[in-house]
Amino acid sequence: MRVVGTKSVWGIGDVGNLEAKQVTVTDAQIIHLSAALDSVLAGESAQVKEYKPSGKTMIFMTMGKKYAAGQIGEWKLWGWVVSYVKGRRLFVDTPRVYVGGKQLRHASM
């Protein structure tokens, strides 16, 4: 996550090139980056571990409130499960706690 050739520039999310550009992968990146920054700021850079992308497919697609499809790993999800989790509100009800650092993206799942 540390930008190649720098000591103190880090990137997660779409700006990175470690994983798919999906919000579903950012929780793990946030957790890893927090630990890495803790170590660096405490002068323990050697403690920073390499980030290992999960490599697991996780995608939820919705078409309106009722129709949806999704996949987690090799598991094809039932449409109604995806509709329930994502289709009803498209997660627009969660940014305040997410951006405020109070909850991770998938805390409700």
Ligand X SMILES: Cc1cc2nc3c(=O)[nH]c(=O)nc-3n(C[C@H](O)[C@H](O)[C@H](O)COP(=O)(O)OP(=O)(O)OC[C@H]3O[C@@H](n4cnc5c(N)ncnc54)[C@H](O)[C@@H]3O)c2cc1C
| Contacts to ligand X by CB under 6 A | 13-15, 21-24, 60
Burial 64-92 (b: 16+ CB within 10 A, else e): eeeebebeeeeeebebeebbebbbeeeee
- Closest contact distance (angstroms) between CB of 78 and ligand X is 17
Of 95, 23, 30, nearest in space to 60 by CA: 23
In the complex with ligand X, which residue's Cβ is closer, 24 or 83?
24
* Nearer residue to ligand X within complex by CB, 48 or 105: 105
Minimum CB separation of residue 53 from ligand X in Å reads 14
Question: Considering the complex, what minimum distance in angstroms separates the CB of residue 47 from ligand X?
Answer: 25
Element (H, E) at 72: strand 67-72
Q: Which is nearer to ligand X, 14 or 38 (CB)?
A: 14
- What's the chain's Rg over C-alpha atoms? 16
Q: Which residue is nearest to ligand X (CB)?
A: 13
